[in-house]
Structure 1
Amino acid sequence: MRALIPAEVLFDGEAPPTVLPVCDHYAGSEKLMSKSLALQAQLGPVFDVTLDCEDGAQVGREQEHAELVASMIGGEHDRFGRVGVRIHGFDHPHWRDDVRLILRAAKRAPAYITLPKIRRTADAAEMCAFIEGMRRELGIAKPIPLQLLIETHGALANVFQLAALPTVESLSFGLMDFVSAHDGAIPDTAMRSPGQFDHPLVRRAKLEIAAASHAHGRVPSHNVSTEVRDMEVVANDAARARDEFGYTRMWSIHPAQVPVIVAAFAPRDDAIATASAILLAAQGAQWGPIRHGDTLHDRASYRYYWSVLRRARATGKALPPETAPLFGMGSSE
Structure 2
Amino acid sequence: MRKSLQLQEEMTREFGACVFDVTLDCEDGAPVGGEAEHAALVVELALNAKPQARVAVRVHPVDHPAFESDIATIAGRAGHRLVHVMLPKVERPEDVERAARALDAAGARALPLQGLIESPAAVHRAFDIAAHPRIQSLSFGLMDFVSAHGGAIPSEGMGVQGQFTHPLVVRAKLEISSACHAHGKVPSHGVVTEFRDQRAFRAAASRAANEFGYTRMWSIHPDQIRSIVELFAPSKNEIHKASQLLRAAEQAEWAPISFDGKLEDRASYRYYWHVLERAHQTGRPLPDEAREWFARSQSNGEI
Measured against the shorter chain, the TM-score band is over 0.9
Q: Deviations over 1:44-96 (max 9, x none)?
A: 11011000000000000000000000111131x33424110000001101111
SS in 2 for 1:304: helix
TM-score, structure 1 as length reference: 0.85
Shift of 1:328: 4.6
Question: Following the alignment from structure 2 to structure 1, what is the Cα–Cα distance between the partners of residues 177 and 269?
Answer: 22
Shift of 1:172: 0.2
**Is 1:273 aligned to residue 240 of structure 2?**
yes
Q: 1:82 aligns with which of 48, 54, 77?
A: 54
Shift of 1:329: 3.2
Return the letter of the residue paired with 1:292: F
Where is the helix percentage greater, Structure 1 or Structure 2?
2
Return the letter of the residue paired with 2:24: L
Whether the 8 Å contact between 2:209 and 2:215 is mirrored in structure 1 is yes
Shift of 1:244: 0.9
Question: Following the alignment from structure 1 to structure 2, what is the Cα–Cα distance between the partners of residues 257 and 265?
Answer: 12
Shift of 1:267: 0.4
What is the percent sequence identity of the aligned residues? 51
TM-score, structure 2 as length reference: 0.93
Q: Deviations over 1:140-169 (max 9, x none)?
A: 5x6101100011122111100100111111
Q: Which shows bigger deviation, 263-272 or 283-292?
A: 283-292
Task: Work out which structure has the larger RCO, using CA pairs closer than 8 Å and 6 or more positions apart in sequence.
Answer: 1
Whether the 8 Å contact between 1:121 and 1:155 is mirrored in structure 2 is no
Which residue does the alignment assign to 2:153?
186
Question: Following the alignment from structure 1 to structure 2, what is the Cα–Cα distance between the partners of residues 324 and 258?
Answer: 25
Q: 1:218 aligns with which of 185, 188, 192?
A: 185
Whether the 8 Å contact between 2:242 and 2:273 is mirrored in structure 1 is yes
Question: What is the number of equivalent residue pairs in this alignment?
Answer: 293
Which residue does the alignment assign to 1:196?
163
Shift of 1:266: 0.8
Which residue does the alignment assign to 2:126?
159
Q: 1:60 aligns with which of 7, 14, 33?
A: 33
Which residue does the alignment assign to 1:134?
106
Which residue does the alignment assign to 1:19?
none
Q: 2:69 aligns with which of 97, 101, 106?
A: 97
Q: State the Cα RMSD in Å.
A: 1.5
Question: Following the alignment from structure 2 to structure 1, what is the Cα–Cα distance between the partners of residues 56 and 160?
Answer: 28
Question: Following the alignment from structure 2 to structure 1, what is the Cα–Cα distance between the partners of residues 50 and 217?
Answer: 21
Question: Following the alignment from structure 1 to structure 2, what is the Cα–Cα distance between the partners of residues 226 and 161?
Answer: 29
SS in 2 for 1:117: coil
Question: Following the alignment from structure 1 to structure 2, what is the Cα–Cα distance between the partners of residues 293 and 132?
Answer: 51
Shift of 1:128: 1.7
Shift of 1:107: 7.5
Return the letter of the residue paired with 2:183: H
**Is 1:42 aligned to residue 10 of structure 2?**
yes
